[in-house]
Amino acid sequence: MRRRSFLHASGLALVAAPFLHLLSRPAWGALPDTGGAGGPKRLLVLFSPNGTIHRHWRPSGGERDFTFPAGSVLEALTPYRDSLLVLDGLDFHDADNHEAGMAAMLTNKGTAGSVGGGMSLDQYVASQIGAASRFRSLELGVQTSLWGGITTTRMSYAGPDALVTPDDSPSSVYSRLYGELAGSPEAAARLLTRRQSVLDLLTGELGALSVRLGSAERAKLDAHLESLRAMERALEGAGGCEPPVLGAIDNHNSNANFPAVARAQLELAVQALACDMTRVASVQMSHTISTTVHSWVGASSEHHSLSHVDDGNTSGVAEFIATERWFAEEVAYVLGRLTELPSPDGEGSLLDGTVVLWCKELGDGRAHTCVDVPWVIAGGGGALRTGRYVDLGGLNHAHVLVSICQALGLDLDTFGDPNAGAGPAEALT
């Protein structure tokens, strides 16, 4: 191979590089097949803070004939009950109180030597199924960083003590997802045509170079050419996912804008999954010890303060339940969007192909314990036995984390601290 030819091909790669990361989505067929035939291939984690009051949260009825009473926290989820696993009696392994609960919630206190390597559930799943995605994972937040990046404000970990910072700005997320494609349809089409031309040129040059290489070098180049062909397939459909229309938000850290930011972030997460930009996304709505005042539902005190009012303070309890019902309505919005959007794999709805986890870090916030922590799981495409209200009887949450991983096709039997025990939560699968 002549030095000039090598430099020419390398130069084309450098020219193409700035364009490649702005593709609307990778080719759907190029991503790994996880979760088995028809199984879920995506994970969406939603978080809201400070526990609950169980008598207002628990459904009525039994395992399969449960209902959400009028005025209860989960009432808004009624249309999706057949797609739900409502988990009662879920305890965290070796964790209590706000900070420890936040740290253990998705990690089960894993270390570098444990399964998961100290990562949180979302980051570990992304490391296994997200490598071929344009974004290995997306972490979105709603006013998570007003106190900075500390244990109480973070739920995702890239490893032991390695906090992952969610992006609290919908405009920033929008720019990352859509970039120049967010212009007019005509401008987007011209941009995609230019990128296709660059890829055509690069593929042709590298194809000509391939016949002049030895077998070992040719194998490496062929792998690179296959990745380019995947990008070409992506370009063919890149215009199919139009950017969502989001309302203007003047200050994403303003308390009054909390609901607008939450809705925008939830919609962006759903769209990213629907367009196969990512296979793992999370939306963290505030943080433990949240100072948000849910004034839009009539609350007059911070969410954390309301989570600690005793039963004798009936007005305070009513305000807290109003805030919790609002979070449930946002989760219901997400489930509705996932239900109406098709899976990019062509197999049912997006909800069928996604495991949705709505998690919290505390049980009853007034007790500061991680006992009877209220979690709800949705979707799963049959990999999880949904349509059920399940009392886990004090089972620790490590087994639920294992169940979610296994539902997504991952071969593991423990997650995080192995002292929590092995195996899935058999009631779920």
Q: What is the pLDDT of residue 188?
A: 53
pLDDT of residue 183: 55
- For residue 258, the Cα-to-chain-centroid distance in whole angstroms is 19
Q: 319-351 burial string, b = 16+ CB within 10 Å, else e?
A: bbbbbbbbbbebbbbbbebbbebebbbeeebbb
Check: CB of residue 52 under 8 Å from CB of residue 283. no
Given this model, what pLDDT does residue 192 score?
58
CATH number of 31-168+278-420: 3.40.720
CA dist 38 and 380 (Å) reads 10
Q: What is the DSSP letter of 93?
A: T
The whole model's pTM is what?
0.82
Local structure of residue 163 (DSSP, 8 states): E
User: Please, what's the b/e burial string for 153-185 (b: 16 or more CB within 10 A of its CB; e: otherwise)?
Assistant: bbbbbbbeeebbebbbbbeebbebbbbebeeee
Residue at token pair 């071929």? 132
CA dihedral 301, 305, 155, 390 (to 10 degrees): -110
Dihedral Cα 175, 181, 185, 188, nearest 10 deg: 150
Spans of the chain below 50 pLDDT: 1-37, 230, 233-240
pLDDT (0 to 100) of residue 184: 52
Q: What pLDDT score was predicted for residue 28? A: 32
Look at strands 280-285 and 388-396 and give their pairing: unpaired
16 token code pair = 């193409």
- Give CA–CA dist 76/84, Å, rounded: 12
pLDDT at 345: 85
Q: Can you tell me the distance from the alpha carbon of 153 to that of 148, in angstroms, rounded to the nearest whole number?
A: 7
The pLDDT of residue 203 is 72
Amino acid 215: pLDDT: 78
Q: What per-residue confidence (pLDDT) applies to 21?
A: 40
